[in-house]
């Protein structure tokens, strides 16, 4: 991904994938500034976003789901201080935020891992009216009219067939009207991603945790479907729940919602050994691996501390020898 164009789309360098690495191919996923896993003050959240901007990051992704709208409000307040044509903004639809009748004083949304008052609740709505309402409400929270990319968020968690029948046509209509620049799906399920790409006219899909240095289930069908249909990929959750975020993997690390399976642990150890042999930090390889595919245009990373954003930008720009990828492929650790 290169700098955003005036139309708000992402232009892609068609040269060797190595030419697309670096900060220009790095985006910030703003779930953390919605108080994911731990609370941040407004000042702390601003410092994180400021570090992302100062590090050269110019793509920002959010969602109503993140902190029951807090992420959108904080991100919008920050981005309103920046020239609109200098960044790409994406958010998501599918969950509307409505008053929570079960809220009690002091109640938090920690069942969803967000440390925010649970005064609102998420309501699934894949109807055309619901998708349009979601976009309008996101614009209001962000305080920004132009949304460059609108993803349907986690449709497999609600009703994938309903998404195919109603939600994606609604997104296509919004794009045709010029209400959004690009449309897509954000999901961590390869089957849902493949079905969406093959059934709808999507521009961009966000693949969360399914195309990483550690595991590549999206390689079998999602990537070929995108290549066939002309859709681009934004890779998210590339650290696999933090397993790839440090040079020395920890056996006690968590894998998504449970313990790390032994098979994946052994694979992780072997990958880390190869990276060490080539003098490449494991997190740098994790950030840059998805960009070796020509259909991947960007990698989105999170972070709740300014130093994390600065470090990720440095790792994204680090030169990695092609021999590393060849060695990993020869050992069967990534697809050849």
Predicted pLDDT at 255: 79
Q: Which CATH number belongs to the domain containing residue 72 in this structure?
A: 3.20.20.100
Separation CA 157–CA 292 (nearest Å) = 30
Separation CA 264–CA 260 (nearest Å) = 7
Among 148, 12, 38, 22, residue whose Cα is nearest residue 88: 148
Separation CA 156–CA 145 (nearest Å) = 28
In a domain, 14, yes or no: no
- Quote the number of domains for the chain: 1
242: left (phi over 0), alpha (psi -120 to 50) or beta: left
In a domain, 9, yes or no: no
Catalytic residue (one of 28, 66, 255, 289): 66
In a domain, 336, yes or no: no
pLDDT digits (tens, 9 = 90+) for 12-52: 333 233 334 566 799 999 999 999 999 999 999 999 999 99
pLDDT digits (tens, 9 = 90+) for 55-77: 999 999 999 999 999 999 999 99
> Would you say 218 and 210 are in contact if contact means Cβ atoms under 8 Å apart?
yes
- Local structure of 299: helix, strand or coil: strand
In a domain, 307, yes or no: yes
pLDDT digits (tens, 9 = 90+) for 254-293: 777 677 889 999 999 999 999 999 999 999 999 999 999 9
Percent of all residues in the chain with a pLDDT value above 70, rounded to a whole number: 93
Among 312, 274, 299, residue whose Cα is nearest residue 1: 299
- Indicate whether 150 pLDDT > 90: yes
**DSSP state letters, 159-209:** -HHHIIIIIHHHHHHHHHTTSEEEEEEEES-HHHHHHHHHHS--SEEEEES
Provide the token pair at 233.
Answer: 């990929």
In a domain, 16, yes or no: no
Q: What is the pTM of this model?
A: 0.92
- Local structure of 226: helix, strand or coil: helix
Predicted pLDDT at 7: 36
- Indicate whether 152 pLDDT > 60: yes
Provide the token pair at 292.
Answer: 């070796």
66 is catalytic: yes
In a domain, 179, yes or no: yes
In a domain, 201, yes or no: yes
| Domain, as residue range, for 119 | 26-331
- Mean pLDDT value across residues 88-107: 97
In a domain, 8, yes or no: no
What confidence category does residue 251 fall into, taking pLDDT thresholds of 50, 70 and 90? confident
- Mean pLDDT value across residues 303-331: 97
């Amino acid at each position: 991904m290169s700098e955003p164009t005036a139309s708000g789309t992402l232009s892609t360098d068609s040269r060797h994938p190595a030419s697309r690495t670096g900060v220009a191919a790095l985006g910030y996923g703003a779930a953390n500034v919605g108080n994911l896993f731990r609370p941040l003050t407004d000042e702390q959240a601003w410092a994180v976003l400021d570090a992302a901007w100062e590090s050269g990051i110019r793509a920002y992704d959010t969602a109503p789901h993140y902190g029951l709208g807090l992420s959108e409000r904080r991100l919008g307040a920050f981005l309103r201080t920046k020239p609109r044509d200098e960044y790409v903004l994406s958010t998501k639809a599918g969950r509307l935020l409505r008053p929570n009748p079960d809220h009690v004083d002091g109640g938090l949304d920690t069942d969803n891992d967000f440390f925010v008052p649970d005064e609102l609740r998420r309501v699934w709505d894949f109807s055309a009216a619901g998708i349009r309402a979601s976009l309008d409400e996101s614009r209001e929270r962000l305080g920004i009219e132009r949304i460059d990319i609108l993803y349907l968020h986690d449709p497999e968690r609600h009703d994938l067939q309903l998404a195919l029948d109603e939600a994606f046509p609604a997104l296509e209509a919004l794009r045709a009207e010029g209400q959004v620049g690009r449309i897509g799906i954000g999901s961590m399920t390869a089957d849902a991603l493949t079905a969406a790409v093959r059934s709808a006219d999507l521009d961009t899909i966000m693949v969360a945790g399914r195309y990483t240095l550690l595991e590549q289930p999206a390689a079998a069908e999602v990537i070929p479907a995108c290549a066939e249909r002309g859709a681009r990929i934004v890779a998210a959750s590339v650290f696999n729940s933090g397993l790839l975020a440090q040079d020395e993997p920890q056996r006690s690390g968590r894998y998504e919602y449970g313990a790390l399976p032994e098979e994946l642990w052994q694979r992780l150890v072997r990958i880390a050994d190869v990276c060490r042999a080539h003098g490449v930090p494991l997190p740098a390889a994790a950030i840059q691996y998805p960009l070796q595919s020509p259909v991947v245009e960007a990698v989105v990373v999170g972070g709740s501390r300014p130093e994390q954003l600065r470090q990720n930008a440095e790792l994204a720009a680090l030169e990695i020898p092609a021999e590393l990828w060849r060695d990993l492929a020869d050992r069967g650790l990534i697809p050849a």
